Amino acid sequence: MMQLTFLGATGTVTGSKYLLKSGDKRILVDCGLFQGLKQLRLKNWAELPINPKEIDVVVLTHAHIDHSGYLPLLVKNGFSGKVYCSEATRDLCAVLLPDSAYLQEEEAEYANRRGFSKHQPALPLYTQEDAMSALKLITPVNYEQDVDLGDGLTLRLTPNGHILGSAFVRIHNQHTSVLFSGDIGRPNDILMRAPKAIKQADYLLLESTYGNRLHEKDDPQVKLAAVINKTVKRKGVVVIPVFAVGRAQELLYYIYLLKSSGAIAHDIPVYLNSPMAVDATEIFTHHHHEHRLTPEQCHALNQTARMVNSVDESRRLNQAHGPMIILSASGMASGGRVVHHLKAFAPKSNNTILFVGFQAAGTRGAAMLDGAESVKIHGEYVPIRANVELISNLSAHADYSEILDWLSGFETPPKKTFIVHGEPVAADAMRHHIEEKMHWKVVMPEYLQTVTLD
């Protein structure tokens, strides 16, 4: 008998954490930070309902911070077991986790220096030292390799096409199997290979980020070219908040294609202002067997933008004039260097802020797309006079139709399918689609709910 407790990603797209108990074993699948709304972010500071010292193993579906970013805090609070993930996820975590810690340290230092924090002193959730301690526990495993977790439990990772290194996680014993979908990629992504088919699982935890939406069928290159060309005509700056892993590389490749075809001017300056994205692009090139690009195309991708590493160069960009394109993390404008670019360029009407991925409730990205006249950055309200645009079909998440197509690969229905990693309306829509089309038994778990898996 297994027990499953939902410690995150219920009623929200962030904070993925699932505790699986089997006999004396305690396995945490995903270890992500909550992001977005303040009441969600406060959960990062709350005590877990289980002592981290009692967790035997952590398994990561992929490296995005909402799936891996709590790991340094777990280690800080006493976890000392193995962390299993794919090799590429290990390499990406080596970039993302120290960066996450650095940003938190930087935010705390900035808040203390400027005096806008309600806490005296403001403290980071964890430090870069905590992140490095967490990285020492990571043990990479190959895809489609059975890993003995002890007590009769076996782990297997299968590629799911979301980002580099992302995987379906299957844990099973002699009687029961549980499949954690992580974030499911798209079948025809320009960079990533399609998610592998899964034939059987007794229980399924299924993401629902786009459970109520279909991606547009239009070619995203066409809209990207239009947005860039209109902004260039105004001598403006296109600021693109990007996720350092996945979207940054995809946007660079699209810009390379647009310049090569003449759809946009070849001499438009392009800057990738995210040391983390620069490193992730190098990792992307190294793991060429996981994606669709040739080594030559990877080289072209690397040459598309000027890589901005120093803080001084980043600051100088804010004093520069368009036309130019700046890609900078983070994708939801929740932190990092992109917020400084927003402070510089969002108040000017000739500029464009272009979003290219899902924007969780409570983030600056969601507020700007909803038409906010200003957003709060570093304790100050910044007016939004720039054009705010969205290209929705660049998302790395499968929409509900693509997920249903993937589910059709199951030879027998799971006993139960738990809908997770979606905001309430999207998650409920995903439930409805599965019940209507697949006639499966679907459950909407709640935060901290525990269920028994027979």
Q: Worst-scoring range by mean pLDDT, 194-203, 358-367, 415-424?
A: 358-367
User: What is the topology classification, in CATH, of domain 220-394?
Assistant: Rossmann fold (3.40.50)
pLDDT digits (tens, 9 = 90+) for 44-89: 999 999 999 999 999 999 999 999 999 999 999 999 999 999 999 9
Q: Choose among 278, 369, 294: nearest CA to 328.
A: 278
pLDDT at position 1 is 85
pLDDT digits (tens, 9 = 90+) for 209-226: 999 999 988 899 999 999
2 band by pLDDT with thresholds 50, 70 and 90: very high
Task: Check pLDDT > 70 for residue 200.
Answer: yes
116 band by pLDDT with thresholds 50, 70 and 90: low
DSSP state of 50: S
CB 28 within 8 A of CB 18: yes
- Residue with the bigger pLDDT between 118 and 166: it is 166
pLDDT at position 137 is 98
Task: Check pLDDT > 90 for residue 120.
Answer: no
The percentage of the chain sitting over the pLDDT mark of 70, rounded to a whole number, equals 99
Which tokens in the block code for residue 161?
Answer: 């096409």
117 band by pLDDT with thresholds 50, 70 and 90: low
CB 40 within 8 A of CB 12: yes
Provide the whole-model pTM: 0.89
Distance, CA of 302 to CA of 296 (rounded, Å): 10
User: Over the chain, what is the mean pLDDT?
Assistant: 94
Between CA 160 and CA 200, with CA 165 as vertex, the angle to 5 degrees is 30
Distance, CA of 125 to CA of 127 (rounded, Å): 7
pLDDT at position 109 is 85
User: What is the topology classification, in CATH, of domain 2-213+396-453?
Assistant: Metallo-beta-lactamase; Chain A (3.60.15)
Distance, CA of 338 to CA of 237 (rounded, Å): 13
**How does 305-317 read in b/e, with b if 16+ C-beta sit within 10 Å?**
bebbeeeeebeeb
Distance, CA of 125 to CA of 34 (rounded, Å): 12
Q: Worst-scoring range by mean pLDDT, 119-128, 154-163, 328-337, 391-400?
A: 328-337
Distance, CA of 441 to CA of 434 (rounded, Å): 8
Would you list the domain boundaries of the chain? Answer: 2-213+396-453, 220-394
CB 448 within 8 A of CB 19: no
The three-state secondary structure class of 173 is coil
Distance, CA of 127 to CA of 276 (rounded, Å): 17
Q: How far is CA 174 from CA 29, 113, 169, 411, in A?
A: 20, 57, 17, 19
Mean pLDDT of 114-138: 87
- Residue with the bigger pLDDT between 244 and 382: it is 382
pLDDT digits (tens, 9 = 90+) for 17-44: 999 999 999 999 999 999 988 899 999 9
Distance, CA of 203 to CA of 3 (rounded, Å): 12
Q: What does residue 221 show for φ and ψ, rounded to 5 degrees?
A: -60, -35
CB 183 within 8 A of CB 159: no
Which residue do the tokens 């464009």 mark?
A: 352
pLDDT digits (tens, 9 = 90+) for 283-312: 988 898 899 999 889 888 888 999 998 889
Which residue do the tokens 């798209």 mark?
A: 186
- Residue with the bigger pLDDT between 448 and 108: it is 448
Distance, CA of 358 to CA of 338 (rounded, Å): 16
Q: Can you count the helices (H) and strands (E) in the chain?
A: 14, 22
Q: Do domains 2-213+396-453 and 220-394 have the same CATH topology?
A: no
